[in-house]
Amino acid sequence: MAVSQLSPTFNKNGLSGGRKSKNAFMGFLIGLGTMLVVAPLILIFGFLLLKGFGALNLDFFLKTPAPEGEAGGGWANAISGSLLILAMAAVLGVLVGVAGGIFLAEFPRHRLMPVIRMLSDVLSGIPAIVMGLVVYALVVRPMGHFSAFAGSVALGLLMVPIVVRTTEEVLKLVPLSVREAGLALGLPQWKVILSIVLPAASGGIITGLMLALSRVAGEAAPLLFTAFGSNLVNLNPLQPTSALPLQIFIGATSAYDENQRLAQAGALLLITLIFVTSLLARFASRQK
Amino acid sequence: MNEPFPRKVTLPKLSSKGDGIFRTVIVGLSLVIALTFMLSIALLGQQSWPAIQKFGLSFLTTNVWNPVTSEYGALSLVMGTLLTSFLALLISVPLAIASALFVAEYAPKWLANPVGYLVELLAAVPSVVYGLWALFALKPLFQQVQLWLYTSNPDLTARCAELFNSNKTSLQCFFMPQVPTGLGFLLAVTILAIMILPFTASVARDVIRLVPADQREAMYALGATKWEVISLAILPYARAGIMGGIILALGRALGETLAVAMVIGNTPEIIKSIWSPTATMASMIANQFGDAREGLQRSSVVGLGLTLFFVSVFVNLIARTIILRLTPKGL
């Protein structure tokens, strides 16, 4: 098409000055733009290392927050809370997510298939805070109080679309001939899927799970009115519980220096964990 | 004579009982997805019903947020959400496309992969961490600029203060700060632009890589420069895909909550200047839901959630349609 716009204006020495300098200028802009894209990541990580690294001591992991305005204390409550909530969220996310992925990949002719696929896509775009409101009405109101369980329902539901998508994609990579071979041996479909197809795809599915977990591990918005937060180490799923991102939000917006310092340390810990998880997951899937 | 096979071959039953059970379990668990969607509408609708009944559509077109008189109109929040999102897109889209072109067209392989990783890590940084960084690292800078604007021209500052007080603004005052706290619209837009960058960037990179090699080669053979190849052969070809990525990023921006809530100032007012404290629907939910009294206030806050729900469903369906149309059939 638009070749006429090109109107090659060559001179004896090759490209005309205008076209050459325009090309160089755009190349420069693209390089500059890329640097501007990468810069925030380096700035954020550098800032957190500088500000938060000093506070990441043993107390940070073993103590609970000191009373407002007092020095010391740690985030044992947030770390244990995150583990508890994520563990329960993972159960929900894996069960529904992997089942959804199997449904989309293995039953493509089911009449509900297009509906589930569309709704799963749509759910992936629902803002996390809205999911918090939904789970508040679904779990917190009937139960009468905030709880780690409510928080993990919110995070689990946020995991589902990510797990569905990666499971479906990985399952579709398993060659059809593998399924046919299994069926030809006289295995029923459920056995073929569970004992041949799923194990073959397990690497990719686990990668997807890790990515989904690291994605929701950083969500604080849906926990605001589900898990709610607590200054105590709580391992009872039915009690309000803190989590790292939630505590970062509370600490960063607090007026006390000590809380802000701990929030910076917590943020450093959180993004380090998330970076390591997502790099590991990507590396694992690269190896395949 | 020996028969090589028994007369009756007994094949295993084709549809075993196990298959039925398996199918039921899988379909049942998958239905949780549909159930979540329907429950979301039902619960958000039920919780915000009092507000819908009382205000109707004027909820979205009037601008009051007054717990004392029990009047709630979300116009400033709707505008806050739309304005922050669109401005953030305006800033981030050129940068995202630049980085995608760099990774796909310019960088040597040893550099392309790490840069691609870094862009993806940018997507992995949680919203609160962006908010914390904006609050502690960017806010002081913004405050310096605001203070400088505030003090460098006292006459204009005084005139604008008068206008702002009577809820007005002018073109000049639109660039003057109201109160130099550092927090406000522009800081929220900045952080939002950074947050949505990777979504456009990674989709754009993928579709640019899908542009067939002969498109490029034909142009190069004509003697085109690299930029001419990009602007005439690659970008037009990848346009629809990039559009999908932009709309995906828009969906993110509309629902982004905590980073924005931490830096926007959380004042339900229509902006009078680019530095004004304002609020978005999402930031208002985060800030108000916990403290809101049962009744009209709480159901108005949930009303914001319902609005956001429908907006993000709509935006996602558009992005999905665009991206689906691009995927070759049979893949």
The C-alpha atoms of residue A66 and residue B98 are separated, in whole angstroms, by: 47
Q: Tell whether B262 lies on the interface with A, counting CB pairs under 8 A.
A: yes
Q: Tell whether B140 lies on the interface with A, counting CB pairs under 8 A.
A: no
The residue whose two tokens read 């044992």 is: A76
- Look at residues A150, A126, A136 and name the one whose alpha carbon lies nearest to residue B46: A136
The residue ranking higher by pLDDT, A217 or B68, is A217
Residue B175 lies in a domain: yes
Mean pLDDT for B35-42 is 97
A-contacting residues in B 57-116 (Cβ below 8 Å): 94-99, 101-103, 106, 115
Residue B263 lies in a domain: yes
User: pLDDT digits over A82-136, tens only?
Assistant: 999 999 999 999 999 999 999 999 999 999 999 999 999 999 999 999 999 999 9
Residue A41 lies in a domain: no
> Looking at beta carbons, which residues of chain B come within 8 Å of A22?
225, 227
- Assess whether pLDDT exceeds 80 at residue B300: yes
Residue B2 lies in a domain: no
- Assess whether pLDDT exceeds 50 at residue A288: no
Quick check: A173 and A245 in contact, CB under 8 A? no
- The enclosing domain of A94 has a CATH number of 1.10.3720.10
Angle (nearest 5°) at CA B55 between B50 and B59: 110
Mean pLDDT for B45-74 is 92
B-contacting residues in A 187-216 (Cβ below 8 Å): 188-191, 193-194, 214-215
B138 DSSP assignment: I
Nearest CA in chain B to A262: B132
User: pLDDT digits over B11-28, tens only?
Assistant: 555 567 888 899 999 999
The pLDDT, as a whole number, for residue B10 is 61
Q: C-alpha dihedral over B281, A274, B248, B100, to 10 degrees?
A: 130
Distance from the Cα of B85 to chain A's closest Cα (Å) equals 14
Domain of B110 in residue numbering reads as: 17-326
pLDDT above 70: percentage of residues in chain B: 94
> Looking at beta carbons, which residues of chain A come within 8 Å of B227?
22-23, 26-27
Contact A33 B286 (CB under 8 A): no
Which of A80-89, B3-12, B44-53, B319-328 has the weakest average pLDDT? B3-12
Q: List the single residue in A37, A107, A133 with the smallest CB-CB distance to B95.
A: A37
> Looking at beta carbons, which residues of chain B come within 8 Å of A218?
124-129
Residue B310 lies in a domain: yes
- The enclosing domain of B256 has a CATH number of 1.10.3720.10
Q: Is B20 helix (H, G, I), strand (E, B) or coil?
A: helix
Residue A76 lies in a domain: no
The C-alpha atoms of residue B258 and residue A232 are separated, in whole angstroms, by: 24
Residue A27 lies in a domain: no
Residue B1 lies in a domain: no
Residue A264 lies in a domain: no
- Report the number of distinct structural domains present in chain B: 1
Residue A110 lies in a domain: yes
The pLDDT, as a whole number, for residue A4 is 46
Q: Please give the full DSSP string across B179-238, using - where no structure is assigned.
A: S-SS-SHHHHHHHHHHHHHHHHHHHHHHHHHHS-HHHHHHHHHTT--HHHHIIIIIHHHH
Domain of A145 in residue numbering reads as: 83-242+272-286
Residue B75 lies in a domain: yes
The residue ranking higher by pLDDT, A247 or B168, is A247
- Assess whether pLDDT exceeds 60 at residue B264: yes
Which residue type sits at A11?
N
The residue whose two tokens read 């992936």 is: A124
Q: What is the ipTM of this complex?
A: 0.92
Residue A247 lies in a domain: no
Quick check: B262 and B279 in contact, CB under 8 A? no
Q: Tell whether A119 lies on the interface with B, counting CB pairs under 8 A.
A: yes
- Assess whether pLDDT exceeds 70 at residue A23: yes
Which of B5-14, B112-121, B285-294 has the weakest average pLDDT? B5-14
Nearest CA in chain B to A159: B33
The pLDDT, as a whole number, for residue A222 is 96
State if pTM tops 0.90.
Answer: yes
Residue B224 lies in a domain: yes
Residue A63 lies in a domain: no
- Report the number of distinct structural domains present in chain A: 1
Residue A267 lies in a domain: no
B-contacting residues in A 223-262 (Cβ below 8 Å): 224-225, 245, 248-249, 252-253, 260
User: pLDDT digits over A235-266, tens only?
Assistant: 999 999 999 999 999 999 999 999 999 999 99
The pLDDT, as a whole number, for residue B186 is 97
Distance from the Cα of B68 to chain A's closest Cα (Å) equals 24
Residue B162 lies in a domain: yes
The C-alpha atoms of residue B110 and residue B116 are separated, in whole angstroms, by: 11
Distance from the Cα of B185 to chain A's closest Cα (Å) equals 18
Mean pLDDT for B47-62 is 93
